[in-house]
Every structure is written in structure tokens, then in C-alpha cells.
Structure 1
Amino acid sequence: MSERATVPVDVVLRLAAVLEPLPECIEKDAWTGVAWQVRQATIAHVFGGEDGLIRVTFRAEPDEVEAFQHLGPQYFKADWGSNVVGMVLDEGTDWEELTELLTDSYCIQAPQNLTDQVSRPDAADATERPG
């Protein structure tokens, strides 16, 4: 069985719709699941765990990494890489928030000439959300 098969096709398609419009971002089969890269740098990696949960990892700014550790069980800091964080994907996933996080990950990993081509949400728009 392909490692890609551990991730539902609709999840891969939804992530691809967010990531692949970014300059030079390509989808690749990963050691497990699917990854998206810009040049040789990984932007996001989605995979299924033995526990049946689907997770996506991505890069975050250093000050955000610590915050992810305190946001609750949906979010986590990965055991590899100083700036690798992630979230569990389920029916409650906020895809608008995930789009922003993946765009930020791209901008962390991509060369400046490519990030200059990306429109990012204004930080003022990222204020508290009604909860």
C-alpha cells in the first residue's frame, strides 16, 4: 500500500489547492504521506498516524512555536526541527486559519524573491477571532 494512501484524497486535494498556487511550490510523495516543497525546502507535510489521526506539519516563526505548544491538543510542536509545528486535521479544522499558517510556512522557507510574490494577510486581520 502506498504511504500516500494513509491520507484521505480530499485532504491532499484541499491542501494542494492552498499550496500549489504559491510560486514554485510542488507536491511530492514523502516517506509517509505527502509533502509540498519550494525548491528543496519542505513547506508542509501531511500524514496519517497509527492512531488514525491525520496531521499536517509546517514551519512557524520562533515566537509562534512556543505558542503552539500551549494552544491545546489540536496543535503540537514536532520532535524534529526547531521551527516545525503542526495540527491535527478533523471535521473542526479551521481551513482559513490553516491557509494562513501554510502561507506563513511558505514565506519562511522560500527565497525572498518568491515570497515577494505572495500576498499575506495583514497582521491586523489576525486579531482575536470570536470563539
Structure 2
Amino acid sequence: MSSTGDVPPEILKRLRPICRQLPESYEEPAWIGVRWRIRARTFAHVYAPNADRVPFYAPYATGDRELVVMTFRVPVDDLLGLTSGGFPFLRADWGHDVVAAVLGDHTDWTEISELVTDSYCRLAPKFLAARVGLPPAVD
């Protein structure tokens, strides 16, 4: 199992407050990177894939920066709208409702906060999802 060392600390510093504010959510190491869960369901997963070993990510890798990706769930009706513009969003190659976002200096953290919160609400029990307010503003 991998550790948080796979993900740059600055990315974790941005994601942790977003995910921790969601009722009963928790963070744990995943097979690669870190994931946040509600009960036994993963609503956000961040990792640094090796683009050489996983060709799916090769078009998004650059020589000067480590590739960092976060996956999350979206309503199927929103999938095409979010991914049709291309970078930084792409359809993950698993799951019918999974999107991957390439994270970096270009990331709109307010949008990521909204997407992570929506993913949580899709997977959380209804009574927990009802306790979620608007995502906090992110610098």
C-alpha cells in the first residue's frame, strides 16, 4: 500500500480542508495516493500515476512536473459537459460516473471544492448529505 508521499504536500494541503469539512468523512491511504471516504465509499481519490506504466495518463504528463490526478463522481448527465472541454478534466477509464482532474498550478480550487462536495453528496447517506452547506471559499 502506498502513502501520502505519492502526492505533493501542497495538493494535500488544499484538499484536506475541503474533504474534512464533510460530515463523517475520513482520509486513508489508498493503494496509490490518498482517498477520502464516507462510510465505505470513496468520494475523492488523489494520486500521482506513473504515466509510463499507465498510458491512459501519458498525454497529460509533462517533463517538468509530477502528474497529480484526483478522481471523483459526477451525475452521468454532467459527465460529458465536464469532460468535453478536455484538460484538466477527463473521463476516467473505469466507472460509469468517474471523472479525473489533473491538478496543478492551473487548478481552480473553488471548482474542485464544489465537485468534491457534490461527489460526497452523491455517495453519502441522505441525512448526511442534507447537512452539507455550500462548499467553503478556497484561496
TM-score relative to the length of structure 1: 0.86
For the Cα contact (< 8 Å) 2:71–2:101, is it kept in 1? yes
CA distance in 2, matches of 1:13, 1:104: 20
For the Cα contact (< 8 Å) 2:74–2:99, is it kept in 1? yes
CA distance in 1, matches of 2:18, 2:33: 17
Residue 19 of structure 2: aligned partner: 19
For residue 91 of structure 2, the aligned residue among 43, 62, 77 is 77
1:98 aligns with 2:117: no
1:50 aligns with 2:50: yes
1:111 aligns with 2:125: yes
For the Cα contact (< 8 Å) 2:2–2:31, is it kept in 1? no
Q: CA deviation digits over 1:59-80, x for unaligned, max 9?
A: 0011111223312121111111
CA distance in 1, matches of 2:77, 2:85: 13
For the Cα contact (< 8 Å) 2:3–2:32, is it kept in 1? yes
Residue 39 of structure 1: aligned partner: 39
Q: Which runs of 5 or more structure 1 residues have no equivalent in the other structure? A: 122-131
What percentage of residue pairs aligned between the two structures are identical?
41
RMSD of aligned Cα (Å): 1.5
The residue type equivalent to 1:61 in the other structure is P
The residue type equivalent to 1:21 in the other structure is Q
Segments ≥4 residues shifted beyond 4 Å? none
The residue type equivalent to 1:62 in the other structure is V
Residue 5 of structure 2: aligned partner: 5
Q: CA deviation digits over 1:31-63, x for unaligned, max 9?
A: 000000000010100000224310000000111
CA distance in 2, matches of 1:27, 1:84: 19
Number of residue pairs the alignment of both structures matches: 121
For residue 102 of structure 2, the aligned residue among 77, 88, 97 is 88
The residue type equivalent to 1:17 in the other structure is P
The residue type equivalent to 1:23 in the other structure is P
